[in-house]
Structure 1
Amino acid sequence: MRSAGALHRLLDVVPVFEGDARVVLRFTLVPGSEFDLGTLAALERSDARVVPWDEAVRHEHDLILTASPKGALRVLSGPRVVLPHGAGFNKTVGDEGSPHLPSGLDPHYLLTDGEPWAALHALAHDEQLTRLTAYCPSAADRATVVGDPTLDRLLNSIRHRESYRSALGTGERRLIVLTSTWGPESLLTRRPELPRELISRLPHDAYQLALVLHPNEYSRTGSFDLSRQLAPALAAGLVLAGPHEEWAALLVAGDAVVTDHGSTALYAAALGRPVIGAYDGGSELIPGSPMAQMLAKVPHLTEAADLTQALRAAEAQDSTGFADAAFALRGQALPRLRRECYRLLGIHPPTVPATPHPLPRPVSTAQSPSAFAVRADISGLRIGITRFPAFTSETVNHLAAEQPEAEQRQIQSASVLWRRARPASTAPHTSSWTAAGWTARMLEESPGCWTAAALLTPERCLLRHRSAGVLSVRIEPCRTGGRILRADPAAVVSAAHAWLGSTTSPWRAPVSLLCDIGPLTVRAELTPAAEEDLGYEL
C-alpha cells in the first residue's frame, strides 16, 4: 500500500481470508508516496506483519492485493487484485497521470507497455465498470463488480448506533459530521474556520459537531498540528475522528453530514443521512461522477449561519438514492471477493462465512466545555436555556464557567460559576471543600459572580445566590418510551440563575421550574438547602 487510506481499505477485506491457516498475510509499503510517514504509523497501529519493499520484490507471491494502482506495484511478482480505496472514482489529482481522470480509471496507471498488469479489478458498481470500459477497455476485461466491503461494514454496524453515540457523549443531541478530503480544494484547506464558526453558532445542548478528515490529511499535517489548528473548536466540544474506522462509526452515529467533494459522504448517503454540500467548485471533482451528481442536488452551505436552514432542506430529500450510483450488491462484497481471490489462488475457499466486522466504539471523545455564553428566555416558571461556546457572536444573557477548569478571564467575568463533584480520593491525606464552603468562597472571591453551584450528581445541586441565599436543586430526568434522559445540571443551574435574577415578586421555596434545554424539558425543584447537600464533599 502507498497510503494510510489504502491500508484501511485492505484491512476491511481481511475477513475474506479469516479461518484459513493456509493463507499468510504480509504487508509492504510501496515507495514513492508523500504520505509514507503516516502509512508507517498506520501499519504500526494495525499490528500487521510488514515485509520491507526490497524483500517483497525478490519473492514470488501467490496473491497481491492493493487499493491503489499507483507506484511500482507491477514489479511485484504474482497475480494482482486492485480495489478502489474510496466510494468510486469521483476525484482527480492535478499533475498526476492523465488530465481529468482518477487513478483507478487511468490507463497511465493501469497499463504497462499497453497491457493491463492487474489480474482483477474488483469494483463496487456497474457505473464504475462502464467508465473503466470507456477509458481503459483492456483493464475492464479483467474487472468484475463485487460490491463495497467498507459499506457492508457500515451497514453491519448500524445495530451499534446507540453504543457509538453513548461513547461520544451525544445523548439526545443531533450529531452533525463535517467531512473533508485532502488537497487544495478540501473543506479544511479552503474553509479552515468552518468548524469553529459552526460550533460557535450551534446550541451546545441541541447539537454535537464532529470532523472527519481524510487519512492523507493526518499524514500531511500530523495530529499535533491538527489539534493546535482546531484548538478553539476542540475546546468547545468538537469531536475529531481518528483516521481508521472511527470515521465510519461517526457516520453510523451521525444525524447529518456536511461535505466537500470527498467520497465519504456517499457512505453517509447510503446510510440515509441527510447531506449538505460545502464544496465551492474547482478542477478535482469529476463531472458526472456519483459525487458530482449528489453535490448538484443537495443543499449548499455558504455561511455557517445557514446550517439549520440547510438541514431542513436536506432532511426533505431521500439521500439513499444518491448512493445507488456508487454501491451495488450490498452485503455481498466479502463473499464475492473471496470467490475471486481464491480462484486466483487456485484453492478452495474456507467453509466459514466471510462476514464484515462491526466497527469498534469510538475512543475520540469531545472535551467538556468549561465556559458557556448563555441565552435565557423566561416565561413565568418556564425557562428556555440555549448555551453557546464563550466566543460566540450570538446574543446572550450571561456567562457561566467551570471553576477552576475555565480560563481565568472567563472565571472573573462569569455570572455563574459551577464545579462538578469528583470521586473521593484514595490518598491517605486529603483536604476537600464541602459544597457549602466552596459556594461561599466563590461568591466571596468573585464579586461579579451572582450564582455559585456545586453539581453533586446529575440530579442534585447546591446553589448559592447572592440575594436568594442557599438552595438545593433537585432535577427530575425525562422518562419517555422506556428511556431515561438527563440534561446537563450546569444548564439547569443557568436556568435557576436566570429565573432568580428576573423574578421581582416575592416567592418562597419550594419552587418548581420547567427548564427547556436542547431537545429536553426537565423539572427543577428549588428547596431550602438540605443538610446532606451543604456537607457534600467535593
Structure 2
Amino acid sequence: MAHEVWVRGPIGLDAASRVTRPGCRTVLAVVPTVQAGTRLVELISLLERDLRVQVMFTVPHSTDRWAGVEEYVRAQHGLILPWEQAVAHRFDLVLAASHRHLDQVRGPLMLIEHGVGRVRPRRFSRKAGGATVETTGLDRELITFRGRVLPAVLGLATEAEVDLLRERCPEAVPAAVVAGDLCLDGMWAGSGQRERYRRALGVGSRRLVVLSSTWFTDSAFGRVPKMYEAVVNALPRDCYAVAAVLHPNIWAVHGRRQITAWLGGCRGLRVLPPEQGWQATMIAADWVIGDHGSTTGYAAAMGRPVTLASLPDGHPRPGSVADIVRARTKPWDADQPLEAQEEAAITAAPRLAAEVLPAVSSRIDCSAGILRSAMYQMLELSEPSAPAYPPLPATPRPLPGWDA
C-alpha cells in the first residue's frame, strides 16, 4: 500500500518551525468507528479548551475500515493525522473508546467504553461462530498485548465491572478507575432541555415513540424491519409522532441511500442521523420500542417506558443491562394494540429504571470530574479550577426526506 501523505501539524522533529502555540501536550483520539468517535468527542470536550493542550484525531486502518468514519471525523473539524503518521509518533495522552488497534499507538492510554457498560448483552462475540467460551468487554485478549496491559487508565462504570475485570484480567485491575458514564450524565444534564428537543423534532403536544435498534442480524432492524412502517401507520398522527434511531454500524455497512430507501414507506417517520441526536431524542421520548442495544438501556435508565422488539440470539448475558431490561419489560407484539403495550411499558418504567440505573453507572453526575482528573494526571498538568461538566446532548436534527 502506498504511503499516506503526512500532515504538517504540531508533531514531529520540525514542529517548532510551524506551530503558533508551542509546548502543548499532545492528545490523540483514535477513532475506528463512528460510535467510538461520538464517545471520544464527549471526552475531549473536558480538556480541549485548555491552551496547554493540542488534540488530534486519527482513523485506524490496516486493509479496511468502516465506511463513513473519516467523513464523521472531518465533520468535527479536528486535525486528522494519517494512521501511518499517528503510529510513528508518541503522544502525551491517547484516548480510545474501542479495543481496535491499541497495540499500535504510543503514549499513555485511556480506554473508555463506547456503549452502555462492559458486561456485553451477548454471551458470545459476533465473531465467535461455534465458540463455547463467553466473552465480555474486559477479556484479557482485548486489553493486553503480548503480556502488557494496554490502558494506563481503564474507565469503568460500576464496581461490578471491577469485579468482572478481576475475574477476566486481574493484572489490569490497577488501571481501573470507576468513573460512571459520561454519556448518561450528559443525558441527565440535558433533561431540562426536553421541551427544546421536542420542538426540534416537531413533536408538539403529541406523544413521541422512538424505535431504537442496535446492529447485526439479531437487532430490531434486523429481525423486525417491518415494525417501523407498522408502528407509523398504526398510531394516529394527531396524537403520536414516531422517530427512529439506528446504530451507526447499520448505516456504515448498508449505506445511507439504502437505509433511507428501506424506510421510504414510513411517511412521517423522523429518522435520526447516525452521528448525533439520539441522546436528545431519548430525552424527548414518551415510549421507546427497542432491543438489547445501548440506546434502549440508556432510555430505561432515564425512566422512559420501554418495550422490547428483539433480543440477542439465546438469552442476554446475566447481569447485563439488556438482561435487566428483558426481565422487566414486555415483548413487542405485532398483533396487539399499541396503546395497551404502551400502558404496560409505562407501568413497568419506574421499577425498570430503579434496577437499570445502578447497572449503568455507580457514579451518577460525577463522570466528568473523575475522567478529567485522570486525564490531567496522565498529562502531568495541573487541573483547571472550574468544575467539569458533561457536554449536553446535541439538538436532534432528523434527516430530510420524510413528510412529517
Judging changes above 3 Å, is the alpha-carbon distance between structure 1 residues 284 and 366 closer, same or farther for their aligned structure 2 residues? farther
Structure 1 or 2: more strand by fraction? 1
Correspondence list, 1:173-322, <5 A: 173-233=206-266, 236-283=267-314, 285-303=316-334, 305-317=336-348, 318=350, 319-321=352-354, 322=356
The residue aligned with 2:8 is none
Q: Which amino acid aligns with 2:289?
A: V
In the alignment, the residues of structure 1 paired with residue 191 and residue 374 of structure 2 have an alpha-carbon distance, to the nearest angstrom, of 27
Q: CA deviation at 1:302?
A: 2.5
- 1:30 and 2:60 are equivalent in the alignment: yes
The residue aligned with 1:510 is none
The residue aligned with 1:94 is 126
The answer on whether the counterparts of 1:260 and 1:277 sit within 8 Å (CA) in structure 2 is: yes
- Which segments of 5 or more consecutive residues in structure 1 lack a partner in the other structure? 371-538
The answer on whether the counterparts of 2:113 and 2:155 sit within 8 Å (CA) in structure 1 is: yes
Q: Deviations over 1:283-306 (max 9, x none)?
A: 583233122122122111121644
The residue aligned with 1:40 is 70
Judging changes above 3 Å, is the alpha-carbon distance between structure 1 residues 248 and 32 closer, same or farther for their aligned structure 2 residues? farther
- 1:136 and 2:169 are equivalent in the alignment: yes
Q: CA deviation at 1:138?
A: 1.2
- 1:340 and 2:374 are equivalent in the alignment: yes
- 1:124 is aligned, of 138, 149, 157, to 157
Q: CA deviation at 1:355?
A: 1.5
Correspondence list, 1:480-495, <5 A: none
In the alignment, the residues of structure 1 paired with residue 144 and residue 399 of structure 2 have an alpha-carbon distance, to the nearest angstrom, of 45
Q: Deviations over 1:315-347 (max 9, x none)?
A: 112132122211121111111101111111112
Q: CA deviation at 1:245?
A: 2.7
The answer on whether the counterparts of 1:6 and 1:67 sit within 8 Å (CA) in structure 2 is: yes
In the alignment, the residues of structure 2 paired with residue 305 and residue 366 of structure 1 have an alpha-carbon distance, to the nearest angstrom, of 31
Higher relative contact order (CA 8 A, sep 6+): 2
In the alignment, the residues of structure 2 paired with residue 157 and residue 33 of structure 1 have an alpha-carbon distance, to the nearest angstrom, of 40
In the alignment, the residues of structure 1 paired with residue 63 and residue 370 of structure 2 have an alpha-carbon distance, to the nearest angstrom, of 30
Q: CA deviation at 1:143?
A: 0.4
SS in 2 for 1:105: coil
Correspondence list, 1:11-22, <5 A: 11-22=41-52
In the alignment, the residues of structure 2 paired with residue 256 and residue 366 of structure 1 have an alpha-carbon distance, to the nearest angstrom, of 23
The answer on whether the counterparts of 2:182 and 2:368 sit within 8 Å (CA) in structure 1 is: yes
In the alignment, the residues of structure 1 paired with residue 341 and residue 403 of structure 2 have an alpha-carbon distance, to the nearest angstrom, of 26
The answer on whether the counterparts of 1:80 and 1:117 sit within 8 Å (CA) in structure 2 is: yes
Q: Deviations over 1:443-488 (max 9, x none)?
A: xxxxxxxxxxxxxxxxxxxxxxxxxxxxxxxxxxxxxxxxxxxxxx
The residue aligned with 2:91 is 61
Aligned length: 366
Q: CA deviation at 1:32?
A: 4.4
Q: Which amino acid aligns with 1:271?
A: M
Q: CA deviation at 1:110?
A: 1.1
The answer on whether the counterparts of 2:210 and 2:243 sit within 8 Å (CA) in structure 1 is: yes
The answer on whether the counterparts of 2:121 and 2:321 sit within 8 Å (CA) in structure 1 is: no
Q: Which amino acid aligns with 1:210?
A: A
Q: Which amino acid aligns with 2:194?
A: R
Q: CA deviation at 1:190?
A: 1.0
In the alignment, the residues of structure 2 paired with residue 95 and residue 366 of structure 1 have an alpha-carbon distance, to the nearest angstrom, of 35
SS in 2 for 1:74: coil
SS in 1 for 2:154: strand
The answer on whether the counterparts of 1:180 and 1:262 sit within 8 Å (CA) in structure 2 is: yes
Q: Which amino acid aligns with 2:121?
A: K
Percent same amino acid among aligned pairs?
Answer: 31
In the alignment, the residues of structure 2 paired with residue 247 and residue 150 of structure 1 have an alpha-carbon distance, to the nearest angstrom, of 11
In the alignment, the residues of structure 2 paired with residue 312 and residue 251 of structure 1 have an alpha-carbon distance, to the nearest angstrom, of 18
Q: Which amino acid aligns with 2:277?
A: E
TM-score by length of 2: 0.86
- 1:74 and 2:106 are equivalent in the alignment: no
In the alignment, the residues of structure 2 paired with residue 155 and residue 279 of structure 1 have an alpha-carbon distance, to the nearest angstrom, of 26
Greater C-alpha radius of gyration:
1
Q: CA deviation at 1:36?
A: 2.5
The residue aligned with 1:84 is 113
Judging changes above 3 Å, is the alpha-carbon distance between structure 1 residues 217 and 312 closer, same or farther for their aligned structure 2 residues? same
Q: Which amino acid aligns with 2:191?
A: I
The answer on whether the counterparts of 1:35 and 1:216 sit within 8 Å (CA) in structure 2 is: no
TM-score by length of 1: 0.65
In the alignment, the residues of structure 1 paired with residue 318 and residue 63 of structure 2 have an alpha-carbon distance, to the nearest angstrom, of 27
In the alignment, the residues of structure 1 paired with residue 81 and residue 403 of structure 2 have an alpha-carbon distance, to the nearest angstrom, of 45
- Which segments of 5 or more consecutive residues in structure 2 lack a partner in the other structure? 1-30
The answer on whether the counterparts of 1:19 and 1:352 sit within 8 Å (CA) in structure 2 is: no
The answer on whether the counterparts of 2:140 and 2:169 sit within 8 Å (CA) in structure 1 is: yes
